[in-house]
């Protein structure tokens, strides 16, 4: 890059690979899982994301607003799941890094932050390292990350700007993309000099404790937003982490970016990290076994009660076919709703046809941790191709597919069977089959918190279900081998904020030295 281009002739590259990896999940994530959402070039990118409230949609709108040329390389995403295979990550690293234009003035890289692959504990840091080798250390790079990212020192060192989501459920992707775009543009033009510090808390926090409308995360974000009122501060991101990825950098951290003031960034980052540590007991979540959760739901005042089976959280990489709760719900005498991912059961429903009798085992296809298959008998009410478009606040307009889908009526339980695992991120996944959540007394969701974007308006209360699964709220169920110890809550004593790393963007350092 020569000099500092003005906005009217600026070209910004965009690329990314997005996956939340659960290293305890009973299956692997291959390259085919990424092919369902794979765009390359401006035409693909515009066709899929223009007009959507996604990160990508935000970048398209920001570029058009500022008259900047967007130069998309490859962007690909897969539903959260198990370890990414070695073959898949080898292909992804090469193709995504090679797709970024060398002739752009900067890059916005879309990452989750909690991706793990066979042989690669930090593939996102590796992608950034490869990009640095291709593009040079002074090439401006901004990164957007999920609130559930596990941020590695390698990621922090290689990025110039890092922006995390502020909401869970994640309904601010669009806005955070525009923020990253704006900061990158200012950085390229030489009007800001990003300096960052990251405080690592040595805390593993379950997703259920990260809701941002109340509780400790709300309080941390309130302080973060107050810090952002300091004119010297560019961004503050409270990154809660993803506890189901067993890596050396798993855990909550706080990233503060200032305009050239490293010590200020460090002071604010440490303050936030210490607050999180002091509030560690506030991150505890109460949950009930399935039968107790159902009994509790039935004595609640009239309305729809959500039973959140977070241990089988599809959005956290779980199989979505656990049967611990299903086994109890098929005996339910009040209207209930549940979605299960089971390709074999869907095939059985399609063989029976609409109006036919459904008799098949459902769920428990991956391992016994998530329960044994349950014999289900009912009537096939509807068969559907499973394609729908997001209609709610989470990535509104985004196209999604459940694969072939069947609606089965099993007594009082309405059971939606899908070929593909589908997180309950959007109300479209049930409305597309003619289901209205308010019609049900109990709504069972394979989710920790993200269900709120789908069922929040219908639900009068939520009960967290404690059942076995690879996303259990009880982290002591898991055999962690790579997380740095001591760490809360695995160890009795929580270490203080022991490390705060600082970074200043290389490009501005070079310019300062030249002056």
Rounded Cα gap, residues 417 and 344, in angstroms: 10
Residues ≥6 apart with Cβ < 8 Å to 64: none
Residues of the chain with pLDDT under 50: 1-3, 508-515
Q: What is the residue-averaged pLDDT of the chain? A: 94
Rounded Cα gap, residues 448 and 262, in angstroms: 36
Contact 471, 310 (CB under 8 A): yes
Supply the pLDDT for residue 510: 41
- Phi, psi dihedral angles at 186 (to 5 degrees): -65, -40
Q: Between 86-98 and 123-135, two packed helices, what is the crossing angle to 10 degrees?
A: 30
**pTM here?**
0.89
Residue corresponding to tokens 């993803």? 242
Percentage of the chain exceeding pLDDT 90:
91
Supply the pLDDT for residue 8: 59
Contact 224, 257 (CB under 8 A): no
Q: Which of 324, 340, 316 is nearest to 292 (CA)?
A: 324
For residue 261, what are its two tokens?
């003031």
The span from the first CA to the last CA of the chain, in angstroms, equals 17
Question: H-helix or E-strand containing 292?
Answer: helix 290-298
Contact 272, 198 (CB under 8 A): no
**Diameter over CA atoms, the chain:** 79
Rounded Cα gap, residues 181 and 369, in angstroms: 43
Supply the pLDDT for residue 503: 83
Supply the pLDDT for residue 515: 31
Question: H-helix or E-strand containing 224?
Answer: helix 215-227
For residue 427, CA distances in Å to 39, 329, 406, 434, 449 come to 25, 21, 17, 11, 14
The 3-class SS string of 426-476 reads: CCHHHHCCCCCHHHCCEEEECCCCCCHHHHCCCEEEEEEECCCCCCCCCHH
Residues ≥6 apart with Cβ < 8 Å to 395: 52, 53, 54, 173, 425, 426
Supply the pLDDT for residue 1: 42
For residue 270, CA distances in Å to 226, 262, 263, 389 come to 15, 12, 11, 42
Q: Where are the domains of the chain?
A: 7-283+497-514, 290-472
Q: Give one DSSP letter per residue of 26-47, joined into a string.
A: SS-B-THHHHTEEEESHHHHHH
**DSSP 3-state assignment of 441?**
coil
Rounded Cα gap, residues 495 and 261, in angstroms: 27
Question: Which architecture, in CATH terms, is 7-283+497-514?
Answer: 3-Layer(aba) Sandwich (3.40)
């Amino acid at each position: 890059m020569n000099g500092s281009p003005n906005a009217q002739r600026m070209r910004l590259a965009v690329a990314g690979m997005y996956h939340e990896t659960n290293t305890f999940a009973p299956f692997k994530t291959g390259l085919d899982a990424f092919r369902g959402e794979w765009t390359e070039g401006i035409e693909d990118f515009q066709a899929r994301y223009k007009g959507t409230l996604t990160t990508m949609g935000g970048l398209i709108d920001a570029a058009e607003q500022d008259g900047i040329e967007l130069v998309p390389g490859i962007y690909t995403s897969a539903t959260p799941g198990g370890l990414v295979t070695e073959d898949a990550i080898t292909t992804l690293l090469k193709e995504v890094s090679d797709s970024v234009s060398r002739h752009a003035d900067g890059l916005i890289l879309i990452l989750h932050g909690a991706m793990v692959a066979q042989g690669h504990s930090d593939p996102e840091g590796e992608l950034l390292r490869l990009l640095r080798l291709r593009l040079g250390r002074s090439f401006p790079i901004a990164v957007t990350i999920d609130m559930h990212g596990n941020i590695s020192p390698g990621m922090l060192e290689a990025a110039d700007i890092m922006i995390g989501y502020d909401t869970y459920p994640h309904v601010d992707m669009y806005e955070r993309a525009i923020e990253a775009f704006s900061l990158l543009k200012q950085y390229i033009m030489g009007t800001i000099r990003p300096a960052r510090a990251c405080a690592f808390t040595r805390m593993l926090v379950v997703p259920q404790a990260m809701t941002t409308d109340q509780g400790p995360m709300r309080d941390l974000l309130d302080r973060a937003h107050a810090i952002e009122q300091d004119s010297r501060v560019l961004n503050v991101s409270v990154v809660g982490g993803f506890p189901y990825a067993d890596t050396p950098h798993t855990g909550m951290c706080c990233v503060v970016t200032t305009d050239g003031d490293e010590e200020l960034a460090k002071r604010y980052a440490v303050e936030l990290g210490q607050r999180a540590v002091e509030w560690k007991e506030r991150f505890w979540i109460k949950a009930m076994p399935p039968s107790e959760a159902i009994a509790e739901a039935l004595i609640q005042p009239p309305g729809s009660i959500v039973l959140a089976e977070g241990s089988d959280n599809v959005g956290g990489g779980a199989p979505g076919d656990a049967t611990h709760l299903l086994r109890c719900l098929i005996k339910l005498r009040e209207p209930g709703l549940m979605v299960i991912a089971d390709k074999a059961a869907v095939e059985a429903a399609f063989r029976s046809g609409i109006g036919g009798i459904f008799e098949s085992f459902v769920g428990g296809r991956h391992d016994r941790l998530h329960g044994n298959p349950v014999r289900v008998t009912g009537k096939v009410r509807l068969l559907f191709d499973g394609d729908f478009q997001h209609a709610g606040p989470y990535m509104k307009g985004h196209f999604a597919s459940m694969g072939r889908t069947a609606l089965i009526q099993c007594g009082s339980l309405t059971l939606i069977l899908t070929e593909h695992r589908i997180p309950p991120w959007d109300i479209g996944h049930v409305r597309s089959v003619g289901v209205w959540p308010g019609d049900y007394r109990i709504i069972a969701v394979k989710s920790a918190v993200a269900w709120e974007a789908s069922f929040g308006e219908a639900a009068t209360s939520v009960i967290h279900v404690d059942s076995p699964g690879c996303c259990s709220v009880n982290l002591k169920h898991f055999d962690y081998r790579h997380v740095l110890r001591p760490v809360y809550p695995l160890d009795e004593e929580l270490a203080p904020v022991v490390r705060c790393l600082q970074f200043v963007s290389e490009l501005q350092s070079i310019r300062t030295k030249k002056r």
